Amino acid sequence: MKQIETIIETLIINGSLTEQPGLFYGKTGIAVFLFHYARHTGNTVFQEYAMTLIEAIQKQITNTTPTRYDVGIAGIGAGFEYFLQNGFIEAEGSDFFEDFDDRMYRAVMHEPYSGFSLEGSITGWGRYFIYRLQGTGHKHKKLNDALMFIANLLTKKIKLNKVTEKERPDVYRFLLDLTAIPEFKEIFSKPLLQCKAWDSISKPDIRKIFPYMHPLQRLLACQRYFNMDLTNGQEWEKWEEADNNALTDMGLLKGWATEGMLYLTRFHNLDVSWIKLI
């Protein structure tokens, strides 16, 4: 793991230079770390810089910005809702998310999807709506309808055995988080049980599951979604030694912001719930 001084310097220098606005590789992911670090240190300079990034993100979003979770609207919107829920920002009026919600609703109802992965397809769209319904969008029927549409679609695909091995962890995570919302719990508990019966879910292999994640992110994801106790010092050090990843991106997936969040989690007991963002 990189030294925190190196992480901060790299993100401050490169944050505004990073063209990608998204959560996994760009400005939104950087802002996640900077807000947490500002709260941890009490230094408002980092908070102010995160707000500067948010302003830049809002200016970058256009009608051609993709809806993908990793680089587009779904991840950016989930990140903004995360900021609100954690008290990092305040919504400027009730229509703060109006454009996001409309764009994502149209995507679900009218745009084609190419599978069920988190990064670029329908469970990523679903994660956006989960964040919204758990936060400031909880009274919006349109958001509820979009999430219900996604969940019903996945239920049919699970029943028909149309979910690939690679997609199964993302589908399982989606349904587990979905059923944490009371109005969805009873309706979708059965497909969640079907997911839990998959071999890759009932007997998860930490070396293979969530292959797109940083090894230590995978450690935290397995702890959150499979109730594995993997974050004791010995386990963490073993997986830290196994990580030979050369960081090239700035964001929240295998990027410099990842290193910062892992530092806060490892040494300052940051709530692991941030892992739900990836």
Share of the chain above pLDDT 90, in %: 74
Tokens of 192: 């969640």
> Could you report the per-residue pLDDT of 129-170, keeping only the tens digit for each?
999 999 888 778 999 999 999 999 999 999 999 999 999 999
Half-sphere exposure of 15 (CA within 13 A, CB side): 28
**87: region left, alpha or beta (phi > 0 left; psi from -120 to 50 alpha):** left
What are the structure tokens assigned to 255, written together? 């990027």
Torsion of CA 178, 181, 185, 190, to 10 degrees: 10
What is the three-state SS of 73-88?
HHHHHHHHHHHHHCCC
Q: Give yes or no for a contact between 111 and 122, defined as CB atoms under 8 angstroms apart.
A: no
Mean predicted lDDT score pLDDT of the chain: 91
Amino acid (1-letter code) at residue 249: D
| Res. 190: pLDDT tops 60 | yes
> Where in the chain are the domains?
1-60+211-278, 64-208
